[in-house]
Structure 1
């Protein structure tokens, strides 16, 4: 993938030409190139009151265009080579993809020291906000809504892994990167760490990016990245969705415990209801909960070859397993101290014959 093409977007002459209607009609960009003036006006000069998110990359601001359209504007921090690359990757990837469960790119601005990416505004914010943040106490995520979000995010990943050309590995699947529209439809967001996978290539070895707690072991240790790394991250996300537990929790004495370590003994002992978020107050389908946890265990297998594809994950979440019952193979998981332990499991993913349907 080449990024030199983006340099043509950076000069003022090009910006003014594209703003001119004649030049704009000649080019078939899948996005709009905004002026800095437009985005300053839309966000009230990036006023603190307009800030709706912040991360290592920079800040995100709510805005409203002169046409009355609500937008979200990501403003990158200091312009480094790393930030420039992430900006280029995100615009490149989002310019390629179109799917109802991927956050839409409206456009961008690149000039001087400013790199701004403009997205559709998501009024229900991020999944992280609802699970652990300011919206958690509002308990807006009932059981059907959680299942819908899980399936939507999974379908977005199916598109990236199997339908986009070339295929795309997200590399940073986590709760803060699943945004929710006005209908709580899931939108996978933030493609700054994404990798395009050429046809016929099974994996790449690269510098590790992503978020602690969601990283597949082979990626965290050796930088070996493939679609199965996203599958692992999605398995962690599934457990987070049903339990509202964070991927890594600090215990007394400074000990850290990951969510798989917490879930596994409860699941083996049959304490399924203990895993469900207490804010659900018991209002969930017990068999669906069992199935989701079993799927998550499959996704977080230490061996990438044993993890399912996202196509299978979507099929299982929707209950489309057919008449066969599939046994979950033995899985190994690593605890917070790096000690590897084996989880012996005779668990089976239920079939349609068990009457399990997610609606």
Structure 2
């Protein structure tokens, strides 16, 4: 800090963002292996849990996505870009705010009512987890242009309904992953992206599920009971209607947001 300037200095994240290591990665760089992806999932979950449970006032990140999970020299996850973050008093369940964020990562209640809470971060984390597993973007503009389902969440739910779990993992992984772990992470992602924010786990509970599987079986069985009710039929044209009038970041996922 000087009389004329205030600067924030961060460690350089030599391995970029998770997004830059998935669909946007140069062909010269190897894909993230499964063990690294699982470690990133746990590290980012711990980071968000810290923001929600260990900060006073608690911090709602507001834009959880693969482009905002940075990777250090050891490919450890670092939650970055707090341009849309909110400080929330612990006695407040949520905060009303103008809708902002990135298409595909915005929780339904935030999109429709402008209510942001730690559970909107949980939703964004669930989508990010699906990005890690599939290697795909949360919102695929190319699919949208073709009139296909552009939302990653909807495509994954469709594959589960059709019992095609083998088509979910990123093809770049080849067969170098553990099916049981992929299944567990997909389950956690779908629990995090439930339509009702009350039903979504806290990030601290997500950490427990990732570390030991604690609570996952019970929660997944409950999810299966209401799975049909969870599905919201939103075709590509209806999706477009929902986004009309909203201001979204138009940068590619690999580009970090500037000051806001």
TM-score by length of 2: 0.82
Compare CA radii of gyration and give the structure with the larger one. 1
> Higher RCO, 1 or 2 (CA under 8 Å, sep at least 6)?
2
* Equivalent residue number for residue 254 of structure 2: none
SS in 1 for 2:231: strand
Task: Name the CA distance, whole Å, in 2 between partners of 1:170 and 1:197.
Answer: 11
The structural deviation recorded for 1:308 is 0.7
Cα distance change on mapping 1:323 and 1:232 into 2, 3 Å: closer
8 A Cα contact 2:209 2:216, kept in partner: no
| Structure 2 residue corresponding to 1:284, chosen from 172, 177, 185 | 177
Cα distance change on mapping 1:217 and 1:146 into 2, 3 Å: same
* Equivalent residue number for residue 14 of structure 2: 123
* Equivalent residue number for residue 210 of structure 2: 317
8 A Cα contact 1:300 1:307, kept in partner: yes
- Write the deviation string for residues 200-241 of structure 1: whole angstroms up to 9, x where unpaired: 100111111211110001101211110000000000000000
Deviates more, 1:129-138 or 1:220-229: 129-138
- Write the deviation string for residues 142-190 of structure 1: whole angstroms up to 9, x where unpaired: 0010000010000000000111111110001111111000000000001
Describe how 1:107-146 pairs up with structure 2 within 5 A: 109-110=5-6, 117-135=8-26, 138-146=29-37
Task: Name the CA distance, whole Å, in 2 between partners of 1:213 and 1:237.
Answer: 10
* Equivalent residue number for residue 38 of structure 1: none
| Structure 2 residue corresponding to 1:168, chosen from 50, 59, 64 | 59
**More strand per residue: 1 or 2?**
1
Describe how 1:201-280 pairs up with structure 2 within 5 A: 201-249=92-140, 250-251=142-143, 253-280=146-173
Deviates more, 1:174-183 or 1:242-251: 242-251
Structure 2 unmatched runs, 5+: 240-260
The structural deviation recorded for 1:337 is 3.6
8 A Cα contact 1:294 1:328, kept in partner: no
The size of the alignment, in residue pairs, is: 230
* Equivalent residue number for residue 332 of structure 1: 231
SS in 2 for 1:288: helix
Cα distance change on mapping 1:337 and 1:312 into 2, 3 Å: farther
Structure 1 unmatched runs, 5+: 1-8, 16-108, 111-115, 340-359
SS in 2 for 1:262: helix
8 A Cα contact 1:273 1:282, kept in partner: no
Task: Name the CA distance, whole Å, in 2 between partners of 1:292 and 1:277.
Answer: 13
> How big is the alpha-carbon RMSD for the aligned residues of Structure 1 and Structure 2?
2.0
8 A Cα contact 2:119 2:200, kept in partner: yes
Deviates more, 1:137-146 or 1:224-233: 137-146
Task: Name the CA distance, whole Å, in 2 between partners of 1:319 and 1:269.
Answer: 28
